[in-house]
Amino acid sequence: MSKAPNQTLIARQLNLAPGTVSRALRQQPGIKSETRERVLKLAQKLGYTVRLRGKAAVEAEACYLGVLVQSPESSWTHTRYLVGLSEAAAAMNVTLIVHHVSFQDCLNIVHADRQPPAMRDGRVKGLCLVHRWPEDVARQLSEKFACVSVVHFYADTKVDLVDMDHRGGMNVLAQHLYGLGHRKIGYFGYCGDMSWSRARYAGYVEALTKLGLELNPAWAIEFGPDVFEQRLVPPTAPEQALHLIKSGVRAWMATNEWAGQMLTQIVRDAGLRVPEDVSITGFDNTDTVPRPVVQLTSVGVSLSVIGTAAIQRLRHRLANPEEPRQNILFDVKFVPGNSTGPLNH
């Protein structure tokens, strides 16, 4: 009776190390494509079947992952994340179920009759949460599914986070403005409901403190969450900003690109110039703001890279359900624009 085929036999016939054969059969990285092809062809010819267990089985098994996109806030940026999500899913034998929900309807996603069919019938094994979901909803979802969040941080939940380094980015922008001679720097668009805005404001506070600059809470103009979700201009924001500019706050760090473009328009409508009279920075460096007023000096990271990392993290979480929660932050890069210049006394 002939001996059943095994990895040692395959390795011997191809003159390869057994470890190389094992990694090739399990579709692991670090193997040349031609080597992998030779191994798979011989394995098929000999009738050898790969039997995976534990983590390897989870990584090789085809599965469905849900992408819950909170709209309309996300409608102008989520496509960039989805590029990375889709590319990563295709490479990992994953099918994505993308579901858009308005913020007003977010509470209903925990009810089976309001979920996508693949989610309620058990085919969806994990969820990627894009943009801000109510804290209680995120907690309930994380109790039933492996969850990874893109951009928004959820406290007291087992939801991994894939995001950018907000604090580091604000430090970079503050250093830039300081180097241009600015010593009074305001913050435009702080929103306590948005974790990314809280993190950026924390970076603003940290940066001004490190530089020895005056930190005046009155120089931070606050937004409510509806401003971002409905893309509204706060009724008091123009008057507040112009009053502070006239009092000497001539440099501003906006909470994101949209807020930076809004402030630029406010300044120009008042007959002031950007950057000759007022310097403004953004954050994100997205090109999804319709009809931008100016090319903002900003910082950013590829949103598709964040999307790719989110799917990779979600697959890892499925394979390692007991692992402690992880926060993955990508470094941002400085992007020069036309909205900052030297302080003119």
Sequence-ordered list of residues with C-beta below 8 angstroms from that of 60, at least 6 positions apart, any chain: 26, 27, 50, 52, 93
143-159 per-position pLDDT tens digit:
999 999 998 999 889 99
- Report pLDDT for 287: 60
More confident residue, 45 or 170: 170
180-207 per-position pLDDT tens digit:
999 999 999 999 999 999 999 999 999 9
Sequence-ordered list of residues with C-beta below 8 angstroms from that of 255, at least 6 positions apart, any chain: 187, 188, 189, 190, 191, 197, 200, 201, 223, 283
Residue 179 forms part of a structural domain? yes
Asked if residue 149 and residue 111 are part of one domain, the reply reads yes
Asked if residue 122 and residue 13 are part of one domain, the reply reads no
DSSP code per residue over 246-310: HTT--EEEESSHHHHHHHHHHHHHTT--TTTT-EEE-SB--S-SSS-SS--BEEE--HHHHHHHH
Taking CA atoms, 230 is separated from 73, 107, 114, 141, in Å, by 7, 18, 23, 25
The whole-number average pLDDT for the span 222-238 is 85
CATH number, domain containing residue 232:
3.40.50.2300
d(CA 195, CA 187): 16
- Report pLDDT for 74: 42
Q: Which residues pair with 317 in a beta bridge?
A: none
Number of domains in the chain: 3
Residue 221 forms part of a structural domain? yes
Contact 274, 280 (CB under 8 A): yes
Asked if residue 142 and residue 241 are part of one domain, the reply reads no
Q: E strand or H helix at 342, and its extent?
A: none
The yes-or-no verdict on residue 81 having pLDDT over 90 is no
Asked if residue 147 and residue 83 are part of one domain, the reply reads yes
The whole-number average pLDDT for the span 87-108 is 81
Q: Tokens for 266?
A: 């406010």
- Report pLDDT for 58: 46
- Report pLDDT for 37: 72
Residues spanned by the domain of 29: 7-51
Asked if residue 149 and residue 136 are part of one domain, the reply reads yes
Asked if residue 193 and residue 225 are part of one domain, the reply reads yes
Axis crossing angle, helix 33-46 with helix 7-14, rounded to the nearest 10: 120
The yes-or-no verdict on residue 214 having pLDDT over 90 is yes
The yes-or-no verdict on residue 57 having pLDDT over 60 is no
CATH number, domain containing residue 36:
1.10.260.40
- Report pLDDT for 162: 94
Asked if residue 312 and residue 292 are part of one domain, the reply reads no
Asked if residue 294 and residue 172 are part of one domain, the reply reads yes
